[in-house]
A and B are shown apart, each in its own frame.
Chain A
Amino acid sequence: DTGVSQNPRHKITKRGQNVTFRCDPISEHNRLYWYRQTLGQGPEFLTYFQNEAQLEKSRLLSDRFSAERPKGSFSTLEIQRTEQGDSAMYLCASSLRSQGLRNEQFFGPGTRLTVL
């Protein structure tokens, strides 16, 4: 499968614990995005990487959240001291800069986080 992959698919944690999610984009894609999706809502933008550089972060991304893309390939999203309000689906997407205006983003299946 050459699509975007995310691991784990599901994560259940207790409040206060740290969690880390991984995203592997489509191999030639240089742009990578993280979104959060809560029940009944559309994906909300969290952050964007071009290669290894994190170029934009949403105000939704509090200081408990950190994302990295160390070699411009896979990315990790870490949430420290999780809160119940962090329970959501975390989606990763990637795109290829050369697609210009169209900028079609290809989404992974998401990681569903439940904070107890």
Chain B
Amino acid sequence: GENVEQHPSTLSVQEGDSAVIKCTYSDSASNYFPWYKQELGKGPQLIIDIRSNVGEKKDQRIAVTLNKTAKHFSLHITETQPEDSAVYFCAASNPQGGYQKVTFGTGTKPHVIP
């Protein structure tokens, strides 16, 4: 089955600086890569996603890149703000029996320093 590795597990970033979270996946059949943000006491919420036929996607202060050959994908957060403090999960999704099965990474918790 799919295996998703995510690094780092925590990171400290000065408010206003950029943060990068990196993930790798193992199954070349994975074709959709969502990123979720989970705030304390809440379920994960989709913040951005990318399909396997796209190399980069940007939405305001967040961007994702995908290197399908290397099976790497990354989340970039620019101009970090205190409200960016949450746990971020990358995920890889592949078609199985008519639906997209999602495998999550282990999470990254950025600590934004004011």
Contact = CB atoms under 8 A, between A and B. Distances in A.
A107 B44 contact: yes
> How extensive is the interface on chain A, given as a class?
20 to 34
B65 interface: no
B43 A110 contact: yes
B99 A43 contact: no
Interface of A: 4, 31, 40-45, 48, 50, 55-56, 91, 93, 97, 101-110
Given A42-B107, A43-B104, A56-B96, A105 B46 contact: yes
A89 to B, nearest CB: 9
B42 A45 contact: no
Contact of A101 (B32, B45, B46, B102): B32
**Most chain B beta carbons < 10 A, residue from A40, A97, A105:** A105
Interface residues of B, number: 30
Interface of B: 4, 6, 9, 31-32, 34, 36, 41-46, 49, 51, 89, 91, 93, 96-107
Given A101-B32, A109-B43, A42 B101 contact: no
21 contacts: A41-B107, A42-B91, A42-B107, A43-B44, A45-B101, A45-B102, A48-B99, A55-B99, A56-B96, A56-B101, A91-B44, A93-B43, A101-B31, A101-B32, A102-B32, A103-B32, A104-B34, A104-B49, A105-B34, A109-B41, A109-B43
A55 B44 contact: no
B100 A101 contact: yes
B102 A105 contact: yes
**Most chain B beta carbons < 10 A, residue from A91, A101, A109:** A101
Nearest to A97: B99
B111 to A, nearest CB: 15
